[in-house]
Structure 1
Amino acid sequence: MTHTIIFEDENYRNLLPLTYTRPIFELTCGGKKQGERIIRAFGEENTVAVVREHLREDLRNRLKIEVNNIGRQASYLLINGALLATEEELKRLSSAIDMGEAVFSDGIFLALKAKREVAEKIAERVIMGGKHIEGLMRKYGRIRVEDSFKTLRFPWDLIDNNPRMLEKDLEAEMGRFQYKEESNTGSYPVLLGERVQIEENCFLDTREGTIAIEEGVEVQFPSRISGPTWIGRNSQLYSVMVRSGTTIGEVCKVGGEVEHSIIEGYSNKAHDSFLGHSYVGEWVNIGAFSVTSNLKNTYGTIKMNINGETLNSERIKLGVFLADYSKVSISTAIYAGRKIGVSSHVHGIVTRDVPSFTHWALSIGEQPTEIYLDSALEIAQRMLERRSQKMEDERKELIKKVFEATEGDRMRVGIKKGRFRV
């Protein structure tokens, strides 16, 4: 039997700081993460993941599959975790690939069927950081070009592809929802899980796509939700306007206005504020009256710093990217295209990217300082306790490794050690 290897290539660097704490296939796009789609397509028992070594133990604990140990199977199907494809599309791709054939799209390696010796060489390269994988593919595989697939290469790919993947996931998962409800306007359905509470006079708009609301969700008046949208289990929506193309993860608290954005699980944006064309990681808190810009006054395209280079996104609308455990203070304004690192806290007006583990309050007269590792872990644990959870040892160790790995990021922009006094 051919086993499946999910791997990440070196493009994970383009999605830092989001990918400091997770492989690229654990970023949500649509109603699911790509890793979930691959595992469901081929089965837990037949799937292993190959990732950067510092992610290994935490990922194994989260996904309950083997990580960085491909075993002794005779042959493997290798799938790039940056590939965006539904379960059915993945199965069709697998069936269409011959042994020794490598599939590329837009210059990105997507998949390969290979004997164990080749799979081992590729796995070793991924664990060391993923450089030059495409060269290996071209060396060991017959090349086939397939232009119908999309991949995650840059942060804005998450935002661009979210509506499209939402539509595909909603169509594929329609049967798992026990109930349907009529929308206030539009012909697409409203899909409901068990124990969903929608207060009277909330407005559900399905003119542009389906709305899926998982079990245990509470939607308070006077919320308005426009599809396509996916709302994860046990989340609470407080007088919110959710515009189309939005994904909200499980156990979130969301209020204010959210447009065309992705919010991972266990994050809070409970108060009046605006989030547009943005990505929010897990365990993030956005304070009241904070806003993210997704449009320049000039209506020009938005540039981002990607892996040390300034790149033009060629997007007029693009918001912010908040890594796991980051915190946004009350009444904070973050400029379009900015990235906030893991466990960082931002205050005031934020016009630059903020490295991980940093207190950032330049606009209110405070020099940026490093958040000590012990403080970051303590703050994260307090937030978990508010959801009746405890941080597991694998996650603590991951955060420690990310803290060490990002020290150079802080040094390059002059972040000092010291006490934050605001």
Structure 2
Amino acid sequence: MGIVFFADAAQQTLLPLTFTRPVADLRIGMLTIAEKWQKHLRQDASFITLNYLRHKFPLKISGQNLLINGSVCPDDALLQAINNLKEGEALKQQDFLIAAKISAADIKDWETVVTSFTGINYVRDFVRITYPEDIFMLNDSELRKDFALLTKGKTSAAISQTNTILGDDFFAEAGASAECATFNTKIGPVYLSKNAEVFEGAHIRGSFFLGESSQVKMGAKIYGGTTVGPHCMVGGEIKNAVIGSFTSKGHEGYLGNSVLGEWCNIGADSNNSNLKNTYGQVKLWDYPTQNLRDTGLQFCGLIMADHAKCGINTMFNTGTVVGVGSNVFGAGYPPKFIPDFSWGGISNNEIYALKEALKTAKRVFERKGREFNEIESNILTHLFNSTQN
């Protein structure tokens, strides 16, 4: 039986993070949502997604399929309820579809077919990602769940005795290294992935995840609720942030209550505000309504989509949203919403020409030892054309 992820309105409400991926491919905690389900259920997974994303995230249909809402994170009770489903049954909470068991023949018309399924009411609470800020808000609890999942029955690799480890919830995969760093796991777990490296003088408090082949630079100060995806480099001060794969925030500067996508770069001494001077609630740009949306949060920082960059000393205001492929630079504060494929974004906001944006993406991929192929190029081309307004 295969897992097939579908998306509901969250594909739109999570923009701009979901311009470049299905909802289930978002990282929260130590794993993407899709990876969490795959590890729990030990099944292959694929995606029902938007046309322009299908080549990168293909649909693979099995004889029998478990259809899962890509915005939902697994837990023990939810897994049990889904395991109890029979073909032709749908797990729901009121009108919200969580999961269903469906045959291969019905996958094509799943939205219509599922309406005729027997509804099984799920009454317990569960984790659901609806807006970008949900990712950093719920990251600490997901880090703890993923730590238990990934370390169950395993023993941590040995790590240098030059480090100071407080508490017992520390785990390092084979090849992970650290020297002269401090790890405080008394308030949350710390997980270092394969070939990850923590440089001298770094201070890290759990909960924290460092992805495969990622690096924490000298003197970094990292607080709980923070995820650094694979192949990243981070430094400076970070608190309650989720950083996507292949992204660099390698220098001094503060990043807090924020989400960065993949292939981003934060210039030296750049900072984001996560608290208004008035201590009031923060509003974020909302793509579906094309207006500001009240988050109800007092602490909310930067939301940056894939392939976005900023120059040195950039000052991001509280609750700033940066679109896909934007290149932000200049003196002063950028606006709270920087549209996709912006060039400048402060005193003079121009369009980042597609040809130049693709050249930059190709160079960044090559620098990380990856191929910028036609699939990646076509996704960015589609987004450039579809976001011109």
TM-score (norm 2): 0.91
- Single out whichever of 99-108 and 240-249 deviates more from structure 2: 99-108
Which of 168, 179, 185 is residue 199 of structure 1 equivalent to?
A: 179
- One-letter code aligned to 1:211: V
Match of 2:149 in 1: 172
Structure 1 contact 188–209 (Cα < 8 Å) conserved: no
Structure 2's unaligned 5+ residue stretches are: none
- TM-fit CA distance, 1:102: 2.3
- TM-fit CA distance, 1:42: 3.9
Match of 1:57 in 2: 55
Matched, 1:293 2:293: no
- TM-fit CA distance, 1:265: 1.0
- Single out whichever of 267-276 and 341-350 deviates more from structure 2: 341-350
Q: Distance in 2 between matches of 1:108 and 1:44?
A: 24
- One-letter code aligned to 1:385: E
Match of 2:212 in 1: 233
Q: Identity rate of aligned residues, in percent?
A: 26
Pairs within 5 Å for 1:275-314: 275-306=255-286, 307-308=288-289, 309-314=291-296
Pairs within 5 Å for 1:88-99: 91-99=79-87
Which of 337, 344, 365 is residue 319 of structure 2 equivalent to?
A: 337
Which of 116, 122, 132 is residue 145 of structure 1 equivalent to?
A: 122
Q: Distance in 1 between matches of 2:250 and 2:340?
A: 24
- One-letter code aligned to 1:321: I
Match of 2:23 in 1: 24
Structure 2 contact 169–186 (Cα < 8 Å) conserved: no
Q: Distance in 2 between matches of 1:255 and 1:116?
A: 47
The list of structure 1 runs, each at least 4 consecutive aligned residues, that deviate by more than 6 angstroms after superposition, is: none
The Cα offsets for residues 148-170 of structure 1, whole Å up to 9 and x where unpaired, read as 21111111111111101100000
The Cα offsets for residues 115-170 of structure 1, whole Å up to 9 and x where unpaired, read as 45553322xx5xxxxxxx8xx75554425133321111111111111101100000
- One-letter code aligned to 2:66: L
The Cα offsets for residues 44-85 of structure 1, whole Å up to 9 and x where unpaired, read as 55x43211111100124xxxxxx1x536x3x43210010011
Q: Distance in 1 between matches of 2:30 and 2:381?
A: 30
Q: Distance in 2 between matches of 1:137 and 1:301?
A: 39
Match of 2:109 in 1: 121
Matched, 1:359 2:343: yes
Q: Distance in 2 between matches of 1:311 and 1:26?
A: 24
Q: Distance in 1 between matches of 2:373 and 2:54?
A: 14
Which of 72, 75, 78 is residue 83 of structure 1 equivalent to?
A: 72
Secondary structure (helix, strand or coil) at the match of 1:271 reads coil
Q: Distance in 2 between matches of 1:121 and 1:208?
A: 47
Structure 2 contact 213–232 (Cα < 8 Å) conserved: yes
Structure 1 contact 17–342 (Cα < 8 Å) conserved: yes
Q: Return closer, same or farther for 1:177/1:280 CA change in 2, 3 Å cut-off.
A: farther
Q: Distance in 2 between matches of 1:242 and 1:107?
A: 40
Q: Distance in 1 between matches of 2:72 and 2:13?
A: 15
Pairs within 5 Å for 1:314-329: 314-329=296-311
Match of 1:48 in 2: 46
Match of 2:231 in 1: 251
Secondary structure (helix, strand or coil) at the match of 2:263 reads coil
The Cα offsets for residues 279-334 of structure 1, whole Å up to 9 and x where unpaired, read as 01111000011001111111111112222243221111111111111001110111
Secondary structure (helix, strand or coil) at the match of 2:338 reads coil
Structure 2 contact 167–184 (Cα < 8 Å) conserved: no
Match of 1:208 in 2: 187
Q: Distance in 2 between matches of 1:143 and 1:118?
A: 19
Which of 128, 137, 141 is residue 160 of structure 1 equivalent to?
A: 137
Structure 2 contact 22–47 (Cα < 8 Å) conserved: no
Secondary structure (helix, strand or coil) at the match of 2:56 reads helix
Structure 1 contact 101–144 (Cα < 8 Å) conserved: no
Q: Distance in 1 between matches of 2:177 and 2:46?
A: 38
Structure 1 contact 38–90 (Cα < 8 Å) conserved: no
Q: Return closer, same or farther for 1:121/1:303 CA change in 2, 3 Å cut-off.
A: same
- TM-fit CA distance, 1:404: 1.5
- Single out whichever of 348-357 and 105-114 deviates more from structure 2: 105-114
Q: Distance in 2 between matches of 1:275 and 1:146?
A: 37
- One-letter code aligned to 2:292: T
Match of 1:417 in 2: none
- TM-fit CA distance, 1:184: 3.9
Structure 1 contact 106–147 (Cα < 8 Å) conserved: no
The size of the alignment, in residue pairs, is 381
TM-score (norm 1): 0.84
Q: Return closer, same or farther for 1:107/1:262 CA change in 2, 3 Å cut-off.
A: farther
Structure 1 contact 8–81 (Cα < 8 Å) conserved: yes
Which of 358, 361, 378 is residue 397 of structure 1 equivalent to?
A: 378
Match of 2:388 in 1: 407
Secondary structure (helix, strand or coil) at the match of 1:404 reads helix
Q: Return closer, same or farther for 1:107/1:259 CA change in 2, 3 Å cut-off.
A: farther
Q: Return closer, same or farther for 1:116/1:59 CA change in 2, 3 Å cut-off.
A: closer
Match of 2:14 in 1: 15
Q: Distance in 1 between matches of 2:201 and 2:82?
A: 46
Structure 1 contact 340–354 (Cα < 8 Å) conserved: yes
Match of 2:361 in 1: 380
Structure 1's unaligned 5+ residue stretches are: 61-66, 126-132, 409-422
Structure 2 contact 232–247 (Cα < 8 Å) conserved: yes
